[in-house]
Structure 1
Amino acid sequence: MKDSAISVLIPTRHRPVLLQRALASVAAQTRRPDEVLVIDDGDEPLELLSRGEVSVVRQEAPHGAPRARNRGASLVRGRFIAFLDDDDTWHPDYLAEAERIALTGDLDLVLTAFLKVKEGASVGEQEIVPEKVPPEFLRPEDFLVRNPGIRGSNLFISRSTFMRAGGFDQTLPSFHDMDLGYRLACLPGLRYGRNVQPRVHFHVHTGLRLSTAGSPTNIEGLRAFLAKHSKNMHPEQVAAFKARARQLFGVEP
């Protein structure tokens, strides 16, 4: 592969229709990826055959998104990894713009702004609203109370940097994006940039998501994140984290 090769990595589980939509957005990129790897984390074989630039690797048993992403990162060959959740999509210029920003600045990490796509009960019913724009600078303390703008679908990162950070924490049922953001921000000499143009579409749908308020995965991840990082927090940050948990998720940490 060429020195600037891009590997797209998609973990999936029992969502073939959404996965096909995600793959269609990858196929529509103006800068085509050099490889696309789908990690099947379901307990039934995925009905998607490896074809062309898309390869499928099946987990021996369901282990969750963090482990699926980490396994994929150990297998891909590109200099950069572009992560995409199976229920999200990209604007056609996403990879081209992320690569340009990374190569121009010789960066390790590029985060891109995203839009929230609220899907209604009727087929085709959508409301698209602006969501988060990644911060200008990455500071560890910004990830201790809230997520300032890193998700599994806007993470464009050099493979070496992902490995140096230790990948996703496989012990966290959820909140692993905030956890990774904290550890990336702690890396000495991290070269980071952002794309303020919203090129990532975060789909809010009626199906189960890791961020679904009140779900067991969401609650367990929230409490596990607090247990892991409370030692890094000031009392005011702990209080703010708990207040957000109550407000957004209806959970008492």
Structure 2
Amino acid sequence: MTARVGIVVRTRQRPDFLRRALDDIAAQTFSDRRVVVVNDGGDPGEVDCVVSEAGVDAEIVHITPGQGGRCVAANAGVRVVGTEFVALHDDDDRWHPEFLARTVAWLDAHPGDAAVSTATEIVYEEDRGGRWVEVGRAPFWAGMQRISLSEMFSVNRAVPISVLYRTAVHGEVGWYDESLEAVEDWDFYLRILARAGFGYVAGEPLAYWTQRPDATGIAANSMFALADAHVRDDALVRDRALEQWTRREGEGLPLYLAALQDRLIVRLDERAREHAERLRAEIRDDVRREIDAHQPLWSRLRRWRRGIGRR
């Protein structure tokens, strides 16, 4: 029988991270899984060696250098697993041991949800003597209780390590967009939310999104290393959606909203200037009151300074 959960591990020239990711998967309490490691243009022999030594069975898909990328790697892995559910476990991220058990239970209990995310913790790491060591943690969207389309319009509220979804949803919303270099997960989640439920397991963090703000080169996080691509592709996704709306509904509402936005920005600038002027006036008044209250002292100080000058 086919395993219920497929786990796609995207990796590229990071054997230590890959080794840690496979150990992380091996620690899951849910064992009905199939693991596919997608080597995105790295050394095949290096990846083969790490996988052969891992404590979990895993298949490997090798992508030729120059022909991959984040989306290509994700799609290649998902197409291979052929399971009921699928999760992307990038090589540098981690899970709570109960992540799969609890997300599978959620989707079993909520058939109307195409995907589910969990409370997530950001884990900060630094290079200490050639080893990446945890130096701090912070909640990702502290207090969040749901995944909603309206909030997702503003900014991504989930990261791949926190999401398990039904593989069949690709047949409804399409695959990861290989024209994007970044934000492919956000774009995919928007398409899911437009058609189906997206559950959320609140409470204890079950996913750990590692970040290395100071890292460069191959060890860097995509959100830092691909910062310019994030900005560009974010705008591309929004512009494509606006173009689709305009073709269907016309230009009226977007034109009105653009003008309204400009007027709001002007008004905010005016209010900021008015507020700054009020603060300056209040400071001047406070200074004058202090000077008046201590006028005798200032007079004695001036007389003393004049006396010093005559000596």
Q: TM-score if structure 2 supplies the norm length? A: 0.68
Summarize deviations over 1:52-110 as a string: whole Å, max 9, x none.
Answer: 62011101334211111111111112111021111101111100111111112224211
The structure-2 alpha-carbon separation of the partners of 1:213 and 1:71, relative to structure 1 and needing over 3 Å to count, comes to: closer
Query: Relative contact order (C-alpha < 8 Å, sep 6+): which is higher?
Result: 1
Choose which of 74, 82, 88 in structure 1 pairs with 2:87.
82
Choose which of 179, 200, 211 in structure 2 pairs with 1:194.
200
Choose which of 91, 99, 120 in structure 2 pairs with 1:94.
99
The structure-2 alpha-carbon separation of the partners of 1:73 and 1:125, relative to structure 1 and needing over 3 Å to count, comes to: closer
**Structure 1 stretches of at least 4 aligned residues deviating more than 3 Å after TM superposition:** 213-220, 229-236
2: CA distance, partners of 1:46 / 1:198: 35
Find out whether 1:211 has 2:223 as its counterpart: yes
Query: Aligned ranges for residues 68-147 of structure 1 at < 5 Å?
Result: 68-106=73-111, 107-122=113-128, 123=131, 124-132=133-141, 136-139=146-149, 141-147=150-156
Q: Which moved more, 1:203-212 or 1:110-119?
A: 203-212
Query: Aligned ranges for residues 227-246 of structure 1 at < 5 Å?
Result: 227-231=239-243, 235=257
Match in the other structure for 2:173: 165
Gaps of 5+ in 1: 244-253
Match in the other structure for 1:251: none
Decide whether the 8 Å contact of 1:26 with 1:32 is kept in 2. no
Q: Which moved more, 1:170-179 or 1:117-126?
A: 117-126
2: CA distance, partners of 1:14 / 1:185: 34
Summarize deviations over 1:200-222 as a string: whole Å, max 9, x none.
Answer: 11000123222116744334433
User: Secondary structure of 2:46's match?
Assistant: coil
Amino acid at match of 2:38: I
Figure out how many residues of one structure are paired with residues of the other and give that number: 234
Summarize deviations over 1:15-61 as a string: whole Å, max 9, x none.
Answer: 11111111111000011242100111124325132556201110133
Amino acid at match of 1:224: L
Decide whether the 8 Å contact of 2:114 with 2:192 is kept in 1. no
Question: How well do the aligned residues superpose, as a CA RMSD in angstroms?
Answer: 2.6
2: CA distance, partners of 1:61 / 1:75: 19
Amino acid at match of 2:65: A
2: CA distance, partners of 1:125 / 1:185: 34
User: Secondary structure of 1:198's match?
Assistant: coil
Percent of residue pairs bearing the same amino acid type: 23
2: CA distance, partners of 1:98 / 1:127: 26
Q: TM-score if structure 1 supplies the norm length? A: 0.82
Match in the other structure for 1:178: 186
Match in the other structure for 2:69: 64
Deviation, 1:135, is: 5.2
2: CA distance, partners of 1:46 / 1:34: 24
Gaps of 5+ in 2: 246-252, 266-311
Match in the other structure for 1:154: 162
